[in-house]
Amino acid sequence: MARRLQTVLFKKGMARSVKQARQFIVHEHVLIGDKKITSPAYLVKVSEEASISFAVSSPLISEDHPERASVEKLAEMQAEKDLLAKQAAEEKARIAEREAREKAEGIEEVAPDEEDIKKAEAEALKAVEEPAPKVAQVPKVAQAKEEPSKEAKE
């Protein structure tokens, strides 16, 4: 896989991704020496690697083309990826250190047993399934004929 043209194009920084490299190749933007290659699966010999370039007729020949990967942008993306990996490793180390300290101090994390989990799940399900309280409806004021009271009939 590492010798395929699409992979070599990506690793040389001529495309932002392997998928983009594949598209450049299929759309006839890539040359090896003077030969236009249209197969992303072309196996690049080590001696050919230095002669990979964009076709003169291709708009990608310009360093300013928006689809071209710039060396600075690739370096920035790699630096960001490295930073995220470093932060993840530091967080993992902090967690391991905390667990070791708690173990040394005799603090054990108490895991809830299955009964507690089932009770909590049942209560949560019950809360979700309970119908919302009904809003009291205010009776409409009827403008019907008033019935005479019992006292008035007598």
- Please report the beta strands in 37-143, taking only residues with DSSP state E, as ranges in sequence order: 52-54
- Residue 32 backbone dihedrals phi, psi, to 5 degrees: -120, 110
**Closest by alpha carbon to 54, among 88, 19, 18, 13?**
13
At 6 the pLDDT is 94
φ/ψ of residue 20, rounded to 5: -65, -40
Number of H helices, E strands in the chain: 5, 3
- pTM comes to 0.47
- CATH number of the structural domain 5-61: 3.10.290.10
pLDDT at 28: 93
81-140 pLDDT, tens per residue? 888 888 888 988 888 888 888 888 876 655 666 777 777 777 776 665 555 555 445 455
Helix (H) or strand (E) holding 118: helix 114-129
